[in-house]
């Protein structure tokens, strides 16, 4: 399930209290991109590497952020594909 | 070092998954900047699509704008298409099929696929910790990879790997097709290649043979040249040109070369023609055709002496609008791997418009056989095998584009050298120019620049300095054939002074379609004495 939480100086707190079975567990937290501070160059990479990585990112982001066509303008997803998606879902290995 | 991208890393990049995508971005950028290649395993495509789709579904849900199944599929596929466009597809091979005993068949397949590469030249980039622990030598995490020191990008004299990256899908398809039909000798690809090469050159016949040397040998045999005959040729060439003349029992007669093209000097040929002259064999050196009209005219004036163009380096070049290999009685080329159109072994071809010569060449390459077990002439085992023909076929569609790239690289060298020679900045004035550029090909012909050669002083020292700077160089050719021990008795070296002088100075620089401007800049700068 997804729940809302507030990050505050290194601590994440749920906005609505939840009773959990364990005292300690792994959760995935979605952090908005714009909140990520520039980490600089932690690996001391040459500027050519940084520039190349940035170019590749810009290109992929352009595709990623392009507007999506309305559902009814897209070809249908076949029953066979949907079955495969379900089968993959069962694997939960990602 | 190359990297195979595990699904988790590929999905990090495609979906911009926090906090992993930054290191994955940098790792892939570093790999490419080092001259490595990024591979995606073709057998993982379905999993890649599904996991990407699932990750997008999750992130769009969190953003509060859920997508429909159609939109998700569309979005995942367009991102994957863009992402994979600059990656190499690593084919799934039969060896990687039976992984059913493995606790994780997909990981097993990925690990098995790495076995095709030389040890230490590739790793699987993954965030999968158990996989990383199980195969510590074959896997690496993005963070570990980023902490490793940068490997300097090497410079190649001829970059066949970059070329293969462009052809790999067609190449693998063609090779598998041959493996499946099993006609390894004179299979359908042999005829297909011969038809396409004949059409490309405009020659009536193309006969593929086992090598460029075999093409020359078979041509001489087809012309019936033998003991007591003389063949006029250049001393400034690869040894095969003269070797085949001696092999058939004839005598090579060496004629000096032009200082600008390094090809045989047509104005000197006529003086060397005797009653024994049975062929003239010019070489279209470095990719630029010799002066074939002048040579053909001399041959015609002397009773129609056959002319064999040794076009081992010039396939694809033009002379007065006609293709090299279709400029004389016979044209011979080579598909040695480093040639502009190369296979992955030995191969060659003969071209002619003469039906009888074509028939003779076809018979000679199969032991002089006119029909099964009927040997009407002496021949050789000189066929080009089907697999090699399939490789050339895969490269042929893009050949003209590669020639254009080679010419652009050569033009850039020429312009950079012109700048260096005539530049007026103080630094340049202080430099001593220790090389001379050969003139651009003559206006009536083109070159495919099999080599880009210049003339240098103190070649040994310069070669050592360039090699120490990581710049590979070669010499084509250091000794004229009439100074080689096996041929020296045929012609005094002093009678070909131009060849003698050029052989002492010539040096070839890296040349291939993918040579970058940056590398060319380094080469030109390194040529100057510090």
- Which residues are CB-contacts of B121 (< 8 A; sequence separation ≥ 6)? B1, B2
Q: What is the dihedral of CA B261, B264, B266, B272, to 10 degrees?
A: 160
List chain A residues with CB under 8 Å of B50.
84-85, 88
d(CA B125, CA B8): 9
Q: What is the pLDDT of residues B175-193, one digit of tens each?
A: 999 999 999 999 999 999 9
Asked whether the beta carbons of residue A31 and residue B16 sit closer than 8 angstroms, the reply is no
DSSP state of B155: -
- Which residues are CB-contacts of B321 (< 8 A; sequence separation ≥ 6)? none
Q: Quick one: pLDDT at residue B249?
A: 97
Q: What is the pLDDT of residues B468-527, one digit of tens each?
A: 999 999 999 999 999 999 999 988 878 999 999 999 999 999 999 999 999 999 999 998
d(CA B179, CA B191): 17
Nearest residue to B126 (alpha-carbon basis) of B207, B237, B10: B10
Q: What is the pLDDT of residues A41-55, one digit of tens each?
A: 889 999 999 999 999
Q: Tell me the H-state helices in B265-312.
A: 292-301
pLDDT level of residue A16 (50, 70, 90 thresholds): confident
Indicate which of A64, A69, A73, A89 best probes the interface with B, i.e. most B CBs within 10 Å of its own CB: A64
Q: Which strands, in side-by-side order, build the sheet including B435-437?
A: B435-437, B452-456, B506-509
d(CA B228, CA B233): 16
Q: What is the pLDDT of residues B277-326, one digit of tens each?
A: 999 999 999 999 999 999 999 999 999 999 999 999 999 999 999 999 99
DSSP state of B381: B
A76: closest CA of chain B, how far (Å) = 6
B448 contacts B406 by C-beta, under 8 angstroms: yes
How many other CB atoms are there within 10 angstroms of residue B488's CB atom? Answer: 14
Q: Which residue has the higher pLDDT, B39 or A11?
A: B39
Nearest residue to B40 (alpha-carbon basis) of B90, B106, B75, B83: B90
- Which residues are CB-contacts of B59 (< 8 A; sequence separation ≥ 6)? A30, B15
Look-up of token digits 């003139």: B439
d(CA B220, CA B382): 14
B397: closest CA of chain A, how far (Å) = 29
Q: Tell me the H-state helices in B115-237.
A: 129-134, 142-147, 160-181, 188-201, 212-222
B77: closest CA of chain A, how far (Å) = 10
DSSP state of B331: E
Asked whether the beta carbons of residue A82 and residue B69 sit closer than 8 angstroms, the reply is yes
Q: Which domains, and CATH codes, for chain B?
A: 2-153 (3.40.50.1010), 163-396 (3.40.640.10), 399-527 (3.90.1150.10)
- Which residues are CB-contacts of B525 (< 8 A; sequence separation ≥ 6)? none
d(CA B530, CA B528): 6
| Number of Cα atoms under 13 Å in the Cβ half of residue B518 | 5
Nearest CA in chain A to B143: A43
pTM of the shown model:
0.89
pLDDT level of residue B529 (50, 70, 90 thresholds): low
Please identify among residues 222-261 of chain B the ones whose CB lies closer than 8 Å to any CB of chain A.
none
DSSP state of B43: G
Q: What is the pLDDT of residues A35-92, one digit of tens each?
A: 777 778 889 999 999 999 999 999 999 999 999 999 999 998 888 888 888 888 777 6
List chain A residues with CB under 8 Å of B11.
94
Name the β-bridge partners of B232. B253, B280
- Which residues are CB-contacts of A74 (< 8 A; sequence separation ≥ 6)? B70, B71, B73, B74
Residues in chain A: 94
- Which residues are CB-contacts of B8 (< 8 A; sequence separation ≥ 6)? A94, B20, B51, B126, B127, B128
Asked whether the beta carbons of residue B22 and residue A39 sit closer than 8 angstroms, the reply is yes
Asked whether the beta carbons of residue A71 and residue B33 sit closer than 8 angstroms, the reply is no
d(CA B463, CA B451): 16
B214 contacts B228 by C-beta, under 8 angstroms: no
How many other CB atoms are there within 10 angstroms of residue B524's CB atom? Answer: 18
Provide the residue ranges of all domains of chain A, joining segments of one domain with +: 5-91
Q: Quick one: pLDDT at residue B429?
A: 41
Give, in order, the Cα–Cα distances in Å from B265 to each of A79, B18, B292, B318, B456. 74, 69, 11, 19, 22
Pairing of strands B38-41, B88-90: parallel
Asked whether the beta carbons of residue A94 and residue B16 sit closer than 8 angstroms, the reply is no
CA B2 to chain CA centroid, Å, is 21
What SS3 class is residue B434? Answer: coil
Q: Check whether B433 has a pLDDT greater than 70.
A: no
DSSP state of A32: -
d(CA B178, CA B176): 5
Q: What is the dihedral of CA B55, B58, B59, B62, to 10 degrees?
A: -170
A64 has a chain B CB within 8 A of its CB: yes
Mean pLDDT of chain B: 94
List chain B residues with CB under 8 Å of A41.
none
DSSP state of B53: H
pLDDT level of residue A93 (50, 70, 90 thresholds): low
How many other CB atoms are there within 10 angstroms of residue B303's CB atom? Answer: 9
Q: Tell me the H-state helices in B240-310.
A: 240-247, 292-301
| Number of Cα atoms under 13 Å in the Cβ half of residue B520 | 20
Token pair listed for B23: 């290191």
What SS3 class is residue A13? Answer: strand
Q: What is the pLDDT of residues B363-407, one digit of tens each?
A: 999 999 999 999 999 999 999 999 999 999 999 999 999 999 999
> Backbone phi, then psi, for B68, in 5-degree steps?
-75, 170
ipTM: 0.82
Q: Check whether B426 has a pLDDT greater than 70.
A: no
- Burial zone of A18 (CB within 10 Å; 0-12 exposed, 13-18 middle, 19+ buried): exposed
DSSP state of B476: S
């Amino acid at each position: 399930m997804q729940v809302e939480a507030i990050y505050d100086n290194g601590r994440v707190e749920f906005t609505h209290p939840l009773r959990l079975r364990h005292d300690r567990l792994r959760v995935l937290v979605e952090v908005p991109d714009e909140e990520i501070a520039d980490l600089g160059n932690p690996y001391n990479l040459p500027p050519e590497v940084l520039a190349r990585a940035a170019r590749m990112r810009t290109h992929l982001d352009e595709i990623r952020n392009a507007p999506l066509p309305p559902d009814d303008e897209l070809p249908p997803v076949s029953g066979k594909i949907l079955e495969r998606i379900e089968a993959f879902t069962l694997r939960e290995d990602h | 070092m190359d990297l195979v991208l595990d699904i988790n890393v590929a999905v990090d990049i495609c979906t911009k998954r926090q906090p992993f995508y930054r290191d994955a971005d940098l790792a892939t950028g570093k790999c490419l900047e080092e001259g490595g290649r990024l591979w995606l395993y073709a057998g993982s495509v379905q999993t890649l699509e599904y996991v990407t789709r699932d990750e997008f579904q999750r992130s769009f849900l969190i953003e509060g704008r859920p997508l429909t199944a159609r939109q998700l599929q569309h979005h995942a596929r367009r991102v994957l298409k863009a992402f994979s466009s600059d990656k190499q597809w690593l084919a799934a091979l039969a060896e990687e099929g039976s992984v059913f005993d493995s606790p994780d068949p997909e990981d097993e397949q990925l690990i098995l696929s790495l076995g095709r590469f030389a040890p230490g030249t590739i790793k699987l980039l993954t965030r999968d910790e158990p996989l990383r622990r199980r195969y510590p030598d074959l896997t690496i995490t993005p963070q570990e990879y980023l902490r490793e020191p940068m490997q300097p990008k090497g410079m190649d004299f001829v970059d066949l790997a970059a070329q293969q990256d462009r052809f790999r899908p067609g190449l693998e398809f063609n090779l598998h097709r041959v493996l499946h039909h099993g006609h390894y000798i004179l299979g359908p690809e042999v005829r297909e290649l011969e038809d396409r090469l004949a059409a490309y050159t405009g020659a009536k016949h193309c006969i593929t043979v086992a090598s460029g040397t075999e093409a020359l040998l078979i041509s001489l045999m087809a012309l019936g040249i033998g003991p007591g005959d003389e063949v006029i040729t250049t001393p400034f060439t690869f040894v095969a040109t003269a070797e085949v003349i001696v092999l058939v029992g004839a005598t090579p007669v060496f004629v000096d070369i032009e200082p600008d093209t390094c090809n045989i000097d047509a104005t000197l040929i006529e003086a060397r023609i005797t009653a024994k002259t049975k062929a003239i064999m010019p070489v279209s050196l470095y990719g630029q055709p010799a002066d074939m009209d002048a040579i053909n005219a001399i041959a015609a004036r002397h009773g129609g002496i056959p002319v064999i163009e040794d076009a081992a380096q010039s396939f694809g070049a033009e002379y007065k609008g006609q293709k090299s290999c279709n400029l004389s009685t016979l044209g011979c080329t080579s598909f040695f791997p480093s040639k502009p159109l190369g296979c992955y072994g030995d191969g060659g071809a003969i071209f002619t418009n003469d039906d009888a010569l074509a028939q003779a060449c076809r018979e000679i390459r199969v032991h002089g056989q006119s029909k099964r077990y009927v040997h009407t002439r002496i021949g050789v085992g000189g066929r080009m095998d089907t697999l090699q023909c399939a490789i050339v076929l895969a490269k042929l569609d893009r050949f003209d584009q590669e020639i254009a790239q080679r010419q652009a690289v050569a033009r850039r060298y020429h312009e950079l050298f012109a700048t260096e020679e005539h530049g007026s900045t103080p630094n340049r004035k202080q430099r001593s120019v220790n090389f001379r550029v050969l003139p651009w090909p003559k206006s009536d012909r083109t070159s495919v620049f099999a080599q880009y050669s210049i003339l240098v002083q103190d070649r040994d020292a310069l070669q050592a300095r360039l090699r120490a700077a990581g710049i590979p160089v070669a010499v084509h050719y250091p000794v004229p054939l009439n100074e080689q021990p096996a041929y020296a008795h045929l012609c005094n070296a002093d009678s070909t002074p131009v060849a003698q002088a050029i052989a002492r100075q010539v040096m070839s620089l890296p040349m291939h379609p993918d040579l970058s401007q940056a590398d060319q800049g380094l080469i030109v700068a390194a040529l100057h004495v510090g």
